[in-house]
Amino acid sequence: MTQKTDPAPFSYVTTLAYDDNGNLLNIQRQTGGSPAWQVYSWTYSATNQKLTAVDPFPNTTTWVYDGKDRVQTMTDAQSRLWQYGYDALDRLNLVTDSSSTVCDTKTYTVNGLLASVKDARNNTTQYTYDGLDRPNKTTYADTTFEQNSSYDACGNVLTRLTRSGSSIVSTFDVLNRLSTKSPTGQPVISYVYDLANRMTQISKP
């Protein structure tokens, strides 16, 4: 898509431009006021990594990459510098700000799944998985947790324990679409779809 027009009565035009590699170069949006157009623009490296993003105000965000095309630093629109670190498997495991404060630390399971995230205040969220590497439990810094207690053969979550301690039981149809949802102590919620698999109705008693 290179152009779209809003519905009447405004009928504002938005144009999109791309480079030969399919990277979005700019978006120009008609405003109906002053200035007449808002322009967002981006530049890219030879390997299609995003280098700059400029909004209409104009604020600029820039990215710098290492030899493996991993983001090394990012300077945001408020001129704050963020630095990124990686483990031996090229997974993001460290984010620091311009004052060298560690803002985010990540660990991973032996299968490469996210195991924990620690923020700048040392609050840690932990993630565990079942034998099929499906999300099982999320434990927060205050020891509250959410848990997926059971799955069906297609990987749909059938029973989920919420952070507040209540449970939600779900059923799915033969097309793996959510059919009903039963929160603890609440009426059953039902979902209806059309032939194009679009949800057309949500109902409860």
Whole-model pTM: value is 0.70
Query: Tell me, what DSSP letter sits at residue 107?
Result: E
**Distance, CA of 61 to CA of 59 (rounded, Å):** 7
Is the model's pLDDT at 67 over the cut of 80?
Answer: yes
| Mean pLDDT of the region 174-185 | 95
Q: Dump pLDDT digits (tens) for 148-179.
A: 989 999 999 999 999 999 999 999 999 999 99
Phi/psi zone of residue 115: left (φ > 0), alpha (ψ -120 to 50 degrees), beta? alpha
- Confidence class for position 140, pLDDT limits 50, 70, 90: very high
Q: Give the alpha-carbon dihedral of 92, 93, 99, 100, to 10 degrees.
A: -130
Q: Dump pLDDT digits (tens) for 4-24.
A: 888 878 889 999 999 999 999
Residue extents of the structural domains in the chain: 1-79, 80-130, 144-205
- Confidence class for position 45, pLDDT limits 50, 70, 90: very high
